[in-house]
Amino acid sequence: MSRFAMIALTALLLGAGLSAQAHAQAPGFGVFYGDEESDFFGDDAFFPERITCMTDRQIRDDIAARGYTDVALNVAHEKRIEVRATRNGYVYLLDFNFCSGRILDEMRLRPAQ
């Protein structure tokens, strides 16, 4: 085998080895929003999450549109907020996802005064 053929073969093998490493690393590189279904769908595929989550005013308006009055918000934590509101003569504690607009849990606390 000639010296030129040995150099060409070595270069070819090195090039193949380097490209294999690059392909192995590519899937874990970078973070992109919008390339996964879970970026848009929260815990439940029937309730897609919004691109931007609701403001306090939007949360109050959404809860009021569902028939609740005297809406009070607690501290938000990871896309969820506890909401105290009155409906049909009772005070409720709602666990509300303010990115999907979904009430995750509703607990009746006491009769309203």
Round to whole Å and give the CA distance between 112 and 5. Answer: 89
pLDDT tens-digit profile, the chain (113 residues): 677 777 877 777 776 665 555 445 555 555 555 555 555 555 555 556 667 889 999 999 999 999 999 999 998 888 899 999 999 999 999 999 999 899 999 999 999 98
Question: Count of CB atoms within 10 A of residue 91's CB?
Answer: 18
Q: Which three-class secondary structure state does DSSP give residue 28? A: helix
Global pTM value: 0.57
Enumerate domains of the chain plus CATH numbers. Answer: 50-111 (3.10.450)
